[in-house]
Every structure is written in structure tokens, then in C-alpha cells.
């Protein structure tokens, strides 16, 4: 249900960006932090080029 999510932050404003790039790779400017109804209970979702990482 990522289609129902909303973008909270993109790129540098993501506080955990350094760890995400070091762990999963990619270009920092292409990372997005998302939230939505199904995620607010379970935690946060970060996305890079369609790859979802749930925390």
C-alpha cells in the first residue's frame, strides 16, 4: 500500500540518510522518507528507486 503513503522528506532532510546510504547504497538525493496509514502503527518506511525499507 505504498501508493497511499505520503512523502515526509527527500534527500538531505532525512536524519538517517547517512546510515541508509552506507547500508543500502544509492544516491542520497534519491532517497525518500514516507508515511501512511499502514506505516504509522508499524514504524517508518524509506524508499530508494522503488525499493522499500521498513523500520
Digit-coded pLDDT (tens) for 28-51 = 999 988 876 654 555 667 776 666
Terminal-to-terminal C-alpha distance of the chain: 16
Residue 48 belongs to what domain range?
A: 2-54
pTM for the model stands at 0.64
- Confidence tier at 6 by pLDDT (50, 70, 90): confident
Q: How many domains does the chain have?
A: 1
Digit-coded pLDDT (tens) for 9-20 = 999 999 989 998
CB 20 within 8 A of CB 53: yes
Amino acid at each position: 500500500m505504498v501508493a497511499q503513503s505520503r512523502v515526509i522528506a527527500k534527500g538531505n532532510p532525512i536524519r538517517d540518510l547517512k546510515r541508509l546510504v552506507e547500508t543500502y547504497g544509492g544516491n542520497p538525493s534519491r532517497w525518500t522518507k514516507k508515511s501512511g496509514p499502514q506505516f504509522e502503527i508499524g514504524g517508518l518506511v524509506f524508499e530508494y528507486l522503488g525499493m522499500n525499507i521498513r523500520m
